[in-house]
Structure 1
Amino acid sequence: MQCKRAWVSGRVQGVSFRAFTRMQAERLGLRGHALNLPDGRVEVLVCGQAQAVEALLHRLHVGPPAARVDAVHVETADVAQCPPGFRIG
């Protein structure tokens, strides 16, 4: 199992970015969360099979049609931090 935390910047709030991320994560069988941050970024925590995690991280660089992704910063995260299922907040 692999766990990563990503911070996505650009126009990523108010454009269904979190819902897009949850839909992609659920299709890939991943768990974690997508949260709006006060500074306008979205934080994504994702855990699961390495290939599926990498596929989701790749999709974060594109996002939904209304989004504009300027940057995605990724770090390794602790699997113990990952919630069951995938939630948005």
Structure 2
Amino acid sequence: MKQSSTMRLSRLVFLYAAARLAVVAGCAGAAVAGVRLFGLEVSLTWVLLVGVLAGIAVSLLALRRLRTRINDEIRIVDNRRQDPSKRPRP
């Protein structure tokens, strides 16, 4: 059975959110590990803030293809909503 555009879009958005959280958590963890490895005296709050900001930037670059797929699915869903002839009949 073919998956509907709305279901594909929902799945892609969930996948993107989970991947982005994983990248951000990984960067924050790497920042904390790096500070502890080098024995630096930096507040954990600042280390986590830098790690989260770095993770956001990295995820924007690393997940570019997934975001493009999401945008394509959004266009498909929008076109279907605007064209009444493509709507499924109840």
Structure 1 length-normalised TM:
0.31
Higher relative contact order (CA 8 A, sep 6+): 1
Structure 2 length-normalised TM:
0.31
Higher relative helix content? 2
Query: In terms of Rg, which structure is larger?
Result: 2
